[in-house]
Amino acid sequence: MGGRSAALILLAALLSSLVARSAALPAGSATTAAGAAAGPAARVPQQLDEIAIIGERPGPRLWRVSKGDHVLWLLGTLNHLPKRMTWRSSEVDAALADSQQLLTSGPSVSASIGPIAAIRLYVQWHRAQKNPDRLRLDAWLPAPLYARFEVLKARFDPGDNSIEELRPSFAALRLYEHAVEAAGMTAHDEVEQAVISLAKRRKVPILRAMLKVDDPSGALKEVSALPPTVEVDCLAATVARIETDLPSMQERARAWAVGDVDRLRALPYPNQREVCISALSNSPRMKALVDSAAQAWSGEAESLLSRNRVSFAMRPIYDLLESDGPLARFRAEGYLVQGP
């Protein structure tokens, strides 16, 4: 969105924080707060091996979605990759060079607000992250869960007293990103940024699905009004993932780097949405925005296939591998899907 304010970027970050990058358990295995509180503290490995992926790596092969002579190339991206990994794919380069448009995986957020409202929204965003009534995090968490959180905080985020002032979901996100950093991996999708940069060099038009927010302040008010107790499961799932999944996260990074999609399919993937979406779902406006973001991408992808001879799009690879994900929907609608 041209000229979007910093506040609107932050609103988009709120969506991605709770939906795309917040940690949780595998789909269908959400841990309840009571269950997480009752379980014993898991032993966290004291040392994570450094990921050593030397030289340029191609990442996974592309999927080819087609109907007639119209083609959409799809790249499955992965957030957590080694920080110093050099990524380059001749297949991506060739497909992008032939493409008329590139569709990114995330939406562009738009709202009709002026500069004064943007400043107020920025302030509101920061307030929304804090626990109400200035209560600290331990006031909302069962004691055994808080003890597990404290162990991880001491290891991955020592000296950060401000995390204790955050709502459970925001505390979970901060701790998770520090843990990913300590594991030697990036917390964000650098592959997507690399493809966008390549598209700009090749002068391929970049398209983002549009997500219109009619009342961003009202959406944040709904989130702020939720009791922090509804977010406890999200934090419990985050703690469980940090305790158990960091080595697997590194293994997924290795598999992605060498294009081993079969290995990615075989490795368990802790999908955060089953737990953290349930907290968002208590805010009708935020749930509607999350649903709209997914629908907007699907609509734009189909539109690309309809109007362009060749297009290129990106989506998180585990979204593509889901049994009800975009590739499955393309097949159900009669498109030919080929790929790894």
pLDDT digits (tens, 9 = 90+) for 259-312: 899 999 998 877 655 676 666 666 777 777 777 777 888 889 999 999 999 999
Confidence category of residue 56, pLDDT binned at 50, 70, 90: low
Rounded CA-CA distance 29/12 in Å is 27
Rounded CA-CA distance 193/200 in Å is 11
Residue-wise pLDDT for 135-174, tens only, equals 889 988 999 999 999 999 999 989 888 999 998 888 988 8
Residue 124 pLDDT > 90: no
Residue with tokens 């957030």: 79
- DSSP H helices, the chain, are 6-16, 33-38, 90-97, 115-128, 143-156, 168-182, 190-201, 216-225, 232-244, 246-257, 261-266, 273-280, 284-307, 317-321, 326-332
Question: Backbone dihedral region of 202: left (phi > 0), alpha (psi from -120 to 50 degrees) or beta?
Answer: alpha
Six-digit token pair at 206? 């970049």
* Per-residue pLDDT, 163: 92
Residue 49 pLDDT > 50: no
Residue-wise pLDDT for 220-253, tens only, equals 777 777 778 888 888 998 899 899 888 888 888 8
- CB neighbours (10 Å) of residue 332? 9
* Per-residue pLDDT, 337: 95
Residue-wise pLDDT for 10-31, tens only, equals 344 444 433 333 333 233 333 3
Which residues are CB-neighbours of 179 under 8 A, at least 6 positions away? Answer: 152, 156, 242, 246
- CB neighbours (10 Å) of residue 133? 7
Confidence category of residue 132, pLDDT binned at 50, 70, 90: confident
Query: Does the pTM exceed 0.85?
Result: no
Rounded CA-CA distance 161/197 in Å is 38
